[in-house]
Structure 1
């Protein structure tokens, strides 16, 4: 028995890399189109989020709680899309579409750290808007600088701790082959599918964590926006109602897209019989959301656009001098 256990342990340890299929089952023309499309999305996402981080940092008028959280979100989105998209682009052009065992582990850890952090951060941002709209006179006392720092810190720490525990439990499983991940990054469902042991306990753990991480923050979002809508309906002018409702509606669409696709993926855990559908679903929260957030939260915002114009004016003015 001891010899068999040792032999089993050695057989498990020989896998030191995984193969990421990505979208390589598509035609060459479609892969080329997707490669160009994803390169453009990546560039636009980086530029949009870097712009928001720069403007909200350099413009003193934007040193408010709302823009502090927006700066955190934009920085998070830069990291979030960088964890997955470069590796996806690599699968389109490389002959060896591999990722090391520890690289896969690190990618999963970083991806879920950022994903869980975003769940909490979006709920904090919704609460911030609730405090600003429903309690404007007490807003700056409720959302003090210390409170904002604590809320952001708790979001990041919770994301790290939850992701660390989940990733450690998955990569402590034995992987003895095959090593082909039918996905474009090391996501939990397709990685669990490759484990050489019963993973039912891990699937339950993932579902429980997803249930705690997704519905609870989303419930706070729902509550906050419910109170905001009630406050909007009490605004006397149609112009004021339309302005606030337009902003909140676009925020809510983005939040619902992120939470909805995440919940559908991780509460059910098991990979479906149509992996291409799973990959397309993953694109919504890993690529589309980081693309939309700088547009919805920042570039449609008049104060952010005003900050961009001021920075451009200073730049062109200094060049003339």
Structure 2
């Protein structure tokens, strides 16, 4: 029996077994037959991204982005959960399991989607799934993914468990069990605010808003359209924003000023939401920023959110905070301590 975790986000899908982790863009595309499938340069091969799942042959992640003629990417919650979440989640888990190994799985949902969709998400992932896995040479391997149990928790609590628990699921940071902690988890589509008061969930101080990092991406994409006449898909901006520029039809566009303006505006919106939501929770001891969006917005949020905000470690991938916390929580719940050195 293995304990795994998957975070099926609107922007990226992340998974871990505690030893290894992976993240890929939340894109699903039709699998096109390729005339030449090998990498152009030795050593450039990537993880499997071609699968047969549920009777369909699909590409996921960056392979879908670059190779699929028909691509599926959406920020609509109902469409995402009904059409893409299961495929993305199963594809993310495949590298971590052997054929028919029983798996216990922890995943999460934004607070706004948790009550309505947690049972449906759990039911879609639990059970035996027959999956065809293709390597870079196009060779197909049959694999049965057996998920025997699923736990779905509010998404931002993954970040809290990641801070609170060690790899065996034991409490390692007592302060997070005895203090009142606020979590601001900035995802791609949503921004989740949550409060844990001595580990107890506060309904009053927890909610989701639509202030995900996609709002800033959308503003940047609209500005680029005005300059170039090209509507750049949001998922194609990830690398460009990190690089600071993008080339469109041979012309290089500097993204620095656009990014600074968009991120500043979004940070102001999130800070206003947090300060308003937590106006009566003036006794919060510490505020934790999480998610890929939380990491990039941290410098812009500094000084705007009322309270002590923990700095975001520069040496950690903040996108993995929730999924690592899910995995630790799974060890805590099921009592299957999995030491990293085992």
TM-score range, shorter chain: 0.3 to 0.5
When you count strand as a share of all residues, which structure comes out higher? Answer: 2
Higher CA-based Rg? 1
TM-score, normalised via structure 1 length: 0.33
Q: Highest relative contact order (Cα 8 Å, sep 6+), 1 or 2?
A: 1
TM-score, normalised via structure 2 length: 0.31
When you count helix as a share of all residues, which structure comes out higher? Answer: 1
